[in-house]
Structure 1
C-alpha cells in the first residue's frame, strides 16, 4: 500500500464528505477511492468512516487519524516543495475562483503571460461571487474583494479595490445632481443584492475618516456587476461600482462621477486559500503572479493614501490572515 496516497485519499473523502466528490477532485475512479479507504482501514485494523446510504461520518478513531494525516501531509508537502521548487517549475492542476468582472477585464487579458511563465500549470478559472467551501468543492484559491470573516483559511492582500459613485448624464439632467449625501434621499438608485442572502448593499462613503452607509430607494435590483453598471448607463439611477469598470465610460462621458468629495472607502482584494495548502507551489505561483499583476495596474495598486483608508482584510484584527467567506461578507462589486 502507498500509505501517503491512502492518507491523501482518506483526507479528501473527509473534507469533501463524499467518495464521489473526492474521486472527482483527485481525478481517480470512484471505485478506486473506495478500495483505497477500505484497504487503509484494513491496514490500520480499525474503522475510520461510518457509512450509511445518506451520510458519511468519522468514527472517533477516524477523527483522530484525520487530524494526524493533515499534519503529516503538510510536512510531506513542505519537504517536497523545499527540494523540488529549486529544480523544476510548478506543475499540475490549479482551480481558482474570482469575481466575474475582475477576471474578465483584468486577469484574463494577462493569462498569456501566466501561461508563458508557468506552462506546466493547468489553470481552471471560475468567475463568480458565490461563497464557496474551498475544501469541499476542491478549489485551491479564490480572489475576493472586501473585509472577510475570520476562520482557518489564509488570506494575502494582493490589491486595493477603488469604488466610484456614478450616474448617466441623462439621469442627472432629469433628476438633478446631488451635492450632499442628504440629497440622495430624493434620488433613485439601482440596487445591488447578494445572490445567496438577497441582502441589498448600501452605498458607502468615507466622511472625515468614518464610513457612512446610505440606503437608497430603487425599483430595480441586480446581482451582476456588469448589469449593475449597465443599468446606470441606461439612465436608471445612481450606482456605486468598481472604478476599473467605470473608467472607460467616465472618460467618454457616458457616466459622470458624483459626490467625489466623499469617495467609497477602499477595500482589500485578497487571495484566499486553505491553510493546509499554503505551501503548494502552484498556489504560491498564482498568488505571486496576480499580486504583481494588480501592483502594475494603476486602478488596483496600493498607495499610502488608499492603505490608510482601506478597510481591514479580516474582521479579526488580531489575526488578519485568518478569513472566511461568509454569506454576508462585506464585499463590493466586481
Structure 2
C-alpha cells in the first residue's frame, strides 16, 4: 500500500485534468498534488502527464495507469460500503455522459428525483454529443444510441430512439410536401454533423423492407439537434431528428412529419458501464431508474 496517496492524487488529477481542481477535491494544495505525482513518476520510472502552463494531459502510459486506478478506486469504494453495512443506500458521486438533448429532456428529470430521495448521492452529468471513452475519461456510465461493439462494457437497453423526417408548413407549401422518396432530391436539408467524426449524418429511410441511407442536397449543417429543429421550424429545409426533439413542434403545428410510412426502425438507447467492476448501490439505482418506464 506504499504510496497509495500518490495514486489517488494521480487519478483525481487525471479525472479533472487539473492539479488545482484535484487539490480542491482532496483538500490539499495544488503543489502538494503535483509533488505526489512527481514522486509517483520517479518511483515508476514513467511520465504520466504532459504539462503546460495551461493544462495537463495524460501520456499513453498515464492513460493505461488511469484505467487501472479508476477500477481499483471504484472497487475500494464499494468494499467500504459493504463493510459499513450501507451498500443498500446509494452514496458518493456518479459521473454520467449523455447526449445533449436526450440528457436534458429525458435523463436529467429522472436523475433530479434521485437527489431528493438520496441525500448521499452526488451527480457529475456531462452532456455531449461527442464520443466518450468511459475508461479513459473516468466516467461511471454513459448513454449510447445504436449498436454497441465494445466488449469491455456492460450494457442495458433503456429506451428506443425513433427518427422523424419533418419540415415547416411554410417550407412545404413553397417546395411541395414530398410523397415519394424520389422527390427528396428536390428539397433542401438541415443535417447533423457528428462532432466526433466531423461527418454529416445521412437521412435514413425504410424502403422495400430495407434500411437505406440517403445523402440529399444539404443547405444547413448543424452539430446540435435542437438547433436542427429550430432551423427547420424557420423554413430552412427538411430535417430528420429523434422524435423526442421534434414532438413539441409537431404538436403545435410548427413542424409537419413527412414520409412517415418510410420511417426507419427505431434504434436502441443503452446505458453502458465498465463491465469488470463491482457494481455500487448508486449504479444499481441508476440502472433501475433509467430502465423503468415512466
TM-score (norm 2): 0.79
Per the alignment, residue 20 of structure 1 pairs with 19
Tell me if the contact between 2:100 and 2:129 (Cα under 8 Å) persists in the aligned partners. yes
Distance 1:82 1:17 in 2: 27
Give the alignment partner of residue 44 of structure 2, picking from 40, 47, 51.
Answer: 47
Per the alignment, residue 124 of structure 1 pairs with 124
Local SS of the residue matching 1:49: coil
Per the alignment, residue 102 of structure 1 pairs with 102
Distance 2:119 2:237 in 1: 45
Distance 1:56 1:112 in 2: 32
Tell me if the contact between 1:145 and 1:267 (Cα under 8 Å) persists in the aligned partners. yes
Deviates more, 1:129-138 or 1:228-237: 129-138
- 1:99 deviates by 1.6
Mind listing any 5+ residue stretches in structure 1 that lack a counterpart? Answer: 297-334
Tell me if the contact between 1:16 and 1:135 (Cα under 8 Å) persists in the aligned partners. no
Distance 2:24 2:98 in 1: 19
Correspondence list, 1:175-254, <5 A: 175-254=175-254
Distance 1:246 1:63 in 2: 39
- 1:246 deviates by 1.5
Local SS of the residue matching 1:124: strand
- 1:274 deviates by 3.0
> Residues 130, 177 of structure 1: CA spacing in aligned structure 2 closer, same or farther, 3 A cutoff?
same
Local SS of the residue matching 2:228: helix
Tell me if the contact between 1:96 and 1:126 (Cα under 8 Å) persists in the aligned partners. yes
- 1:193 deviates by 0.9
Distance 2:60 2:227 in 1: 45
Local SS of the residue matching 2:197: coil
Tell me if the contact between 1:81 and 1:279 (Cα under 8 Å) persists in the aligned partners. no
> Residues 68, 168 of structure 1: CA spacing in aligned structure 2 closer, same or farther, 3 A cutoff?
closer
Q: What does the per-residue CA deviation read over 1:71-99, in whole Å, with 9 as the maximum and x for residues that have no partner?
A: 76666455444455655521122222212
Mind listing any 5+ residue stretches in structure 2 that lack a counterpart? Answer: 52-56
- 1:275 deviates by 3.5
> Residues 123, 129 of structure 1: CA spacing in aligned structure 2 closer, same or farther, 3 A cutoff?
same
Count matched residues.
Answer: 288
- 1:200 deviates by 0.8
Q: What does the per-residue CA deviation read over 1:276-312, in whole Å, with 9 as the maximum and x for residues that have no partner?
A: 55523333322322222xx22xxxxxxxxxxxxxxxx
- 1:158 deviates by 1.4
Distance 2:6 2:252 in 1: 59
Distance 1:133 1:63 in 2: 11
CA RMSD of aligned residues (A): 3.7
